[in-house]
Amino acid sequence: MNKNYKNKNLLLVIAIVAISLVSCDEVKRTPGSIYMSDMAYSRAYESYADHSNLTAKGIYYDNLPVAGTIARGKDMPFPYAKDKAGDTTNYYASRSVQNPIDSLSAKELTEAERLYLVNCGICHGAKLDGNGPLYKDGNGPYPAKPATLVGDVKYESMPAGQMFYSVAYGKNLMGSYASQLSRHQRWMIIKYIKNKQAAAKAAK
């Protein structure tokens, strides 16, 4: 009985030694190919650390979307570039671009109105009548009357895409608002203006 017990213990020791030798083999220490190393070995991220020169640190991340793709939740890029001086080709071509926003919820409408008043109302007026604080019936610091967005058939019939072009690149004395407003915010404001124009027509 004791002899069998000793034999079992001996076999167990031999098995443990064999497994240890196999697991410590040099071949097992060589890793295979890693196809997504950033996911396998993610680097710690310090919120307030300097990330100005990641490439020098061996981190190749450009923070840009893949070419030809659109980030989820983002609008399509505007298909027309700014015209060169004296050219109006893209300005008129932009008439074909449709507003990607079909309608505004009550919350979105409130935000669109706020964006309009902050960025546009100072010239075009809270009533979209071209009589903002900078004009004041001709008594303000701005001598030329801004566009009357509600009440002038020229702007009431202007397509949304052409309005977007004007807001994005500027038109005549109005400068570009691309740095102040995101693409989606610009479309929201244009939808707000079109809603106001439609309401004014319906009230006639």
CATH of 89-203, one of 1.10.760.10, 3.20.20.210, 3.40.50.970, 3.90.550.10: 1.10.760.10
Split at pLDDT 50, 70, 90, the class of 41 is low
Model confidence at 2, in pLDDT bands (50, 70, 90)? low
Rounded Cα distance between 193 and 139, Å, is 25
Rounded to 5 degrees, what are φ and ψ at 99?
-70, 120
More confident residue, 32 or 194: 194
pLDDT tens string 51-105 = 677 677 776 666 667 777 887 777 888 999 999 999 999 999 999 999 999 999 9
Token digits for 114?
């706020």
Q: Domain extents for the chain?
A: 89-203
Q: Write down the pLDDT at residue 4.
A: 62
Rounded to whole angstroms, the Cα distance separating 189 from 195 reads 10
**N-to-C CA span, the chain:** 110
- For 201, other C-beta atoms within 10 Å of its C-beta total 10
Rg (CA), the chain: 33
Kindly report the pTM of this predicted structure: 0.68
Q: What is the model's pLDDT at position 76?
A: 85
Query: Is 43 exposed, middle or buried, given 0-12, 13-18 or 19+ CB atoms closer than 10 A?
Result: exposed
